[in-house]
Structure 1
Amino acid sequence: MTAIGKDGFDLTRRTMLAGAALGLAGATTSPAHAYSAAQSRRTRPLPSDFLWGSAISAHQSEGNNTNSDAWIAENVTPTVFKERSGDACDSYHRYAEDIALAAGLGFNCYRLGIEWARIEPSEGHFSNAELDHYARVLECCRSHGLRPIVTFNHFTTPIWFAARGGFEVADSPDLFARFCGRAAEHLGGLMHMATTFNEANIQLFVALFPLAETVRNAAQAMVDACRRATGSPRFSRLAFADPAISTPLMIEAHRKAYDAIKAVRPDLPVGLSLTTTDIQPVGENSLASQYRDRLYGDWVAAGRSHADFIGVQTYTRLLVDSRGFVAPPEGAEMTDAGYEFYPAALGNTIRWAHGAIGKPIFVTENGIATDDDSRRIAFIDAALDSLGDCIADGIAVHSYIHWSLIDNFEWTSGYDKHFGLAAVDRRTFRRTLRPSATHLGAIAKANRI
């Protein structure tokens, strides 16, 4: 992992993928010849209820999420964040503009997050005003013909929750389930589907990487600064918690939240979203299967018992030999986030989820960081080809949701990584559609793959 400027280290989930090779040479940033839009084949009609859409998260787009643990972490010294989220994309106030943008492209669903830190600003005290705000957001989706897919937690928690120890405290599952139940009760029938955690296995993903001592020390120094800022020696952020302690508690939290949502909305499909990197073996005695087991752990069992569907979230592949991660092939194209351009990973992870968990599959995130929009179009086409091959083989896949609708705050790497179908002016907040947006929208309108 390399430092970004003088202010922080790149520890985002998407850009963590770039650390798999950890200094190994071999890849380039020149466009690969393996994928092109011309290869796209769109002849197979899909069911009328197939979901096409784009994703957005609360903290990354809303702005001024001042009561969250992420806001504290961004603003302490030292920090691993390159810059502060600040106003983000001002989607808290401009949500109607974003929703209209998505609907105008021809999508029929909208994946978004509700922010726990806003809804329960202090322990046990819920804000009806904020719940009403999110109800208006969902009503706006419905009025534009978009079915809302709601994420109850997208990496952030309230400050009070982090200060008491986050998901490293025994009663944390009950607190998370209480929040989910209260939100589900208020938002009622406005939700079309929901997931508890975004990428529930994120900590197991991070644990796969042999982080350099300087990076570990920098992250620990930031957490220590958060503890001083909150006056709590127990401060714990989800992404930096000890997975040996927090993962079992998060699995319990998912199960209890699933039950709590179902108690008030028994008909609402509630799923499990996972980070589903395509781990491929290289050579003899590859450790790929062991790495795969470590990535998913006991979340596979949780998906089988407490999920109506699995949310697949895939960006690339990782290569593993008998010693660990290896570099991408010589000459492989790399995205701006620093990992290999490999859209076929989507089909491979769909096949993994189908075989390992056996629940209906929804692609809830797939995308690319690039400032060359022609490569985004090529990525989308090739990813959809791999998804189409899965459907042709009889695998039930029910959505393609692109990350993201707009360029937004990409965690520790700030605003430098552009995943959006639309660019956002950081001063005026003006949204400008890229050609990839209308390209994907045309595919969605045709509903063929």
Structure 2
Amino acid sequence: MLKRVAVRVAGAAVMLVGLIAVPQNIAAAEGVPAMGDDFHWGVAMSEFQSGGFFPDSNWTRYAQESADPYLNSVDFRHLYREDIQLAAEMGVNTFRLSIEWARLEPAPGRWDEKAFEYYDDVLRAIVDAGMRPMLTLDHWVYPGWVADRGGWANPDIVDQWLTNARKVVDRYAHLDPLWVTFNEGTAYVMQEVKHGGLSPVDVPVMFDRMAQAHRSIYDYIHAVQPGAMVTTNASYIPTVEPVMDAQLIDKVAGRLDFVGIDYYYGVSPANPTAVYALLDEHWKATLEPEGIYYALRYYARKFPGKPLYIVENGMPTDNGAPREDGQTRAAALRDDVYWIQRAKADGMNVIGYNYWSLTDNYEWGTYAPRFGLYTVDVLTDPTLTRRPTDGVDAYRQIISTGGVPDAYVPSRAPAGCSLVDAPSSCLDPVTVD
């Protein structure tokens, strides 16, 4: 088994987060996959961020005033078969994407059958490649006509949103997908305020309406697809996640089949760099991979026994350049998986992991942050060639053996007094024996 957690408690117990070469022929202990045969090894993407050729929407409008032009992103719209094959060749068994309302209903009450047929083809390719779809109903994008009517400040938006969502469920529930209702609700609201789509005074209204929409579509999904797995994924924000949960997660806690968690950056007294992610300079945020353990532990304690799924996790670079801290995508990926295995070994019900993202994409206003397993130079390469990073071979090896080897040692030692789940993560830390 992996090295167990060493616990140091200051005062009373508090119950409240690869440069190493991995031999390519090493197998997990006794040939048994460390994470189990039913573990979800996935990749994630957003259709707007990768698709291109996008109709009028709130984000095609926001992009007009952003640092980089949207252009047609990495053109997943026409290259999806190749991208899906790239995922399949790594051994991925779960493929997350969004089904975009703006494509399906470009004008009020006018449904674009060709857009549905496009998603029919994409999902058929995913299933034919041996992968299970994970479908996001709302990844921050809605039609331009919805924006013209006030977006989430409009009382009618819940009914409008549900009309679209039900059509998506009716069409694709037979594929037995995993479902994400809203991507990172907290970040969604922040982006709407940042770009002028929502007044600060309407923030509580948007949260309440998303909660109402989630509860309603959750019930509908389960009526159409018995046994469905539905979540709304949390954008884990170190030190303040309980406050963030109160805005949405806590309001829908009774209608979560699993807890979806997006984890990227840690924070500690010696490392305040996570703030760079808010400035779109993600690559300057120093990684603290053990933070993924603390995030899982936080939700394992909050929702005892409920399945936990890392819906997004990845490492950014600046336009593909080497990071100043020397961290590589392969090493970061192994480190994150190591801590997920530690969490599972310690009894947390972890069922899946998605790497964000399969390819580089439009990171909400800029192409500079590169998260992709395959890198794409959108602004300088008209061929949009997918070039593998070292993360591709690393992820293929991880999937083939069900995780990192028992003897693996993380490339970075845990931070002193992590604040990812303060005070618990500081007073009840993990160590590498």
The answer, yes or no, to whether TM exceeds 0.5 is: yes
Q: 1:335 to 1:348 in 2, by over 3 A?
A: farther
Q: Is the 8 A contact 2:273 2:284 kept in 1?
A: no
Q: 1:434 to 1:39 in 2, by over 3 A?
A: closer
Q: What is the aligned partner in structure 2 of residue 348 from structure 1?
A: 294
Q: Secondary structure at the match of 1:194?
A: strand
Q: Secondary structure at the match of 1:315?
A: coil
**Unmatched 5+ stretches in structure 1:** 1-34, 208-215, 224-235, 280-290
| Mean CA deviation greater in 305-314 or 265-274 | 265-274
Q: CA deviation at 1:296?
A: 1.6
What are the equivalent positions in structure 2 for 1:283-298 lying under 5 Å apart?
A: 291-298=240-247
Q: What is the aligned partner in structure 2 of residue 201 from structure 1?
A: 186
1:377 is matched with which residue: 330, 338, 353? 330
- Cα-to-partner distance string for 1:347-387 (whole Å, 9 max, x where unaligned): 11111122223421111100010233852112111111111
Aligned counterparts of 1:191 and 1:362: Cα–Cα separation in 2:
17
Q: 1:54 to 1:241 in 2, by over 3 A?
A: farther
Amino acid at match of 1:313: D
Q: 1:354 to 1:72 in 2, by over 3 A?
A: same
Q: Is the 8 A contact 1:368 1:419 kept in 2?
A: yes
Q: CA deviation at 1:398?
A: 0.8
Q: What is the aligned partner in structure 2 of residue 267 from structure 1?
A: 227
Q: 1:82 to 1:344 in 2, by over 3 A?
A: same
Q: What is the aligned partner in structure 2 of residue 48 from structure 1?
A: 37
1:441 is matched with which residue: 396, 400, 406? 396
Q: Is the 8 A contact 1:421 1:437 kept in 2?
A: yes
Amino acid at match of 1:91: F
Aligned counterparts of 1:134 and 1:391: Cα–Cα separation in 2:
34
1:301 is matched with which residue: 244, 247, 250? 250
Aligned counterparts of 2:223 and 2:173: Cα–Cα separation in 1:
12
Q: Secondary structure at the match of 1:398?
A: strand
Q: CA deviation at 1:110?
A: 0.8
2:217 is matched with which residue: 257, 274, 281? 257
Root mean square deviation of aligned Cα: 2.7
Amino acid at match of 1:141: I
Q: CA deviation at 1:339?
A: 1.7
Q: CA deviation at 1:400?
A: 1.2
Amino acid at match of 1:249: R
Q: Is the 8 A contact 1:141 1:147 kept in 2?
A: yes
1:401 is matched with which residue: 354, 373, 376? 354
Q: CA deviation at 1:46?
A: 2.2
What are the equivalent positions in structure 2 for 1:191-230 lying under 5 Å apart?
A: 191-203=176-188, 219=194, 223=196
Is it true that 1:327 corresponds to 2:272 in the alignment? yes
Q: CA deviation at 1:166?
A: 1.2
Aligned counterparts of 2:131 and 2:322: Cα–Cα separation in 1:
28
Is it true that 1:363 corresponds to 2:310 in the alignment? yes
Q: Secondary structure at the match of 1:197?
A: strand
- Cα-to-partner distance string for 1:36-79 (whole Å, 9 max, x where unaligned): 4359995462221111121111110000212211001222xxx2
Is it true that 1:60 corresponds to 2:55 in the alignment? no
Q: What is the aligned partner in structure 2 of residue 229 from structure 1?
A: none
Aligned counterparts of 1:136 and 1:336: Cα–Cα separation in 2:
34
Amino acid at match of 2:264: Y
Q: Secondary structure at the match of 1:271?
A: strand
Q: CA deviation at 1:237?
A: 5.5
What are the equivalent positions in structure 2 for 1:127-206 lying under 5 Å apart?
A: 127-203=112-188
**Unmatched 5+ stretches in structure 2:** 1-17, 275-279, 405-433
Q: Secondary structure at the match of 2:370?
A: coil
Q: 1:101 to 1:448 in 2, by over 3 A?
A: same
Amino acid at match of 1:342: E
Is it true that 1:424 corresponds to 2:376 in the alignment? yes
Q: What is the aligned partner in structure 2 of residue 226 from structure 1?
A: none
- TM (norm. structure 2) is 0.78
2:63 is matched with which residue: 74, 79, 85? 74
Aligned counterparts of 1:438 and 1:335: Cα–Cα separation in 2:
26
Q: Is the 8 A contact 1:174 1:256 kept in 2?
A: no
Q: CA deviation at 1:88?
A: 0.4
Q: What is the aligned partner in structure 1 of residue 277 from structure 2?
A: none
- Cα-to-partner distance string for 1:3-40 (whole Å, 9 max, x where unaligned): xxxxxxxxxxxxxxxxxxxxxxxxxxxxxxxx643599
Q: Secondary structure at the match of 1:311?
A: strand
Q: Is the 8 A contact 1:172 1:253 kept in 2?
A: no
- Cα-to-partner distance string for 1:311-348 (whole Å, 9 max, x where unaligned): 1100012458xxxx98359xxxx985332211111111
Q: 1:141 to 1:407 in 2, by over 3 A?
A: same
Q: Secondary structure at the match of 1:187?
A: helix
2:238 is matched with which residue: 275, 278, 291? 278
